[in-house]
Structure 1
Amino acid sequence: MKKQQSGFTLIELIMVIVVLGILAAFALPRFADFSGQARASSIQGLAGALRSASAIAHSAQLATANSTGSTSVTLENQVITMIDGYPTANTAGIVAAAQVDPAGYAATAGAATAGGDITFKPAGFTGANCSVTYTAADAAGTTAAEKASQVVADTSGC
């Protein structure tokens, strides 16, 4: 009487391992760039936060002072320095308004002048083209965009 075989043969087991290896080789590149995608998402999120904070501070200034000449507004018990109706491009301005975490982003020195800018990069990342730049308003600008604050995100190198 012949004994009935149960389970997998060695060849079947090897074939399953080979097929799984091939699938993993094709799937790995798809999931390998999570850190770059995370940095790009972080930059886009910060850009949104800067735009929102700028708009809220501008609205608060218009509501309380009704003048673009005011030099500060108070949001959540924090004084935000303003220039031409929008937060300045420094730690006392847009960084305070957006409550940017200094541990998460490295920032340039910034400027408290009209048209000044401050650039944020993910902390510890040294690559180029992965940043968001806030430019303060400039009432002397020639276009409507220059007269309001601007936020530009660059995620091409994240």
Structure 2
Amino acid sequence: MKRQGGFTLIEMIVVIVILGILAVTAAPKFLNFQDDARTAALQGLKGAIDSANGIVYGRAAIEGVTAGAGNVDNIAIINGYPDGTASGIGAAVVGLNNDWQTQYGANASGAAKFTLKGREFVASEQCVVFTPAAANGAPTVTIEACAASRG
């Protein structure tokens, strides 16, 4: 009788098990969705803060309060833009104080830092940093390491 060549059922199961182990150990290195999601969330917050700055400045310009400190629609402003406090940028961006980890007055310029809820303000984490408007300027919004301090 002629013997047929091929794989036995046990050999095929062993190969499938080995491929499964490789997939489980290698996939997280190639599919790092958590970091991508965090980065996208921070970029979304940066965009929301930039939009809020424009909207608040527009309201301040209509009301004629684009110089010095003031208040527009219960939002504390400086030079027409939200200041770096909970009653400033915190009030201008809906949900900012509830949905994000916040740190107001993070440095000498009165910056505010925001990161994902439940995360810490350490160098290994990324934050959105809002630096209030200086004289005749607009506020800056950047994404940087949380522990970085700008004067």
TM-score tier by shorter-chain length is 0.7 to 0.9
Aligned mates of 1:137, 1:42 — CA distance in 2: 24
Tell me the residue number matched to 1:124. 118
Tell me the residue number matched to 1:153. 143
Question: How far 1:156 sits from its partner (Å)?
Answer: 9.2
Tell me the residue number matched to 1:61. 60
Task: Give me the identity figure in percent.
Answer: 26
Q: Please point out which of 104, 128, 132 is paired with 1:136.
A: 132
Question: How far 1:96 sits from its partner (Å)?
Answer: 0.6
Contact 2:132 2:139 (8 Å CA) reproduced: yes
RMSD: 2.7
Aligned mates of 2:34, 2:145 — CA distance in 1: 13
- Structure 1 segment 29-108 matched on structure 2, within 5 A: 29-31=29-31, 33-65=32-64, 67-69=66-68, 71-74=70-73, 79-108=74-103
SS of corresponding position for 2:104: coil
Structure 1, unaligned stretches of length 5 or more? 1-7, 141-146
Contact 2:42 2:128 (8 Å CA) reproduced: yes
Aligned mates of 1:29, 1:94 — CA distance in 2: 37
Contact 1:62 1:68 (8 Å CA) reproduced: no
SS of corresponding position for 2:134: coil
CA shift digits 1:16-49 (9 cap, x unpaired): 2223333343323123x33332222221111111
Structure 2, unaligned stretches of length 5 or more? 1-7
Task: Tell me the TM-score normalised to structure 1 length.
Answer: 0.72
SS of corresponding position for 1:138: coil
Question: How far 1:110 sits from its partner (Å)?
Answer: 3.0
Moved over 6 A (4+): none
Aligned mates of 1:66, 1:83 — CA distance in 2: 9
Aligned mates of 2:39, 2:88 — CA distance in 1: 24
Aligned mates of 1:63, 1:106 — CA distance in 2: 32
Task: Tell me the TM-score normalised to structure 2 length.
Answer: 0.75
Aligned mates of 1:109, 1:40 — CA distance in 2: 21
One-letter amino acid of the counterpart of residue 26, structure 1: A
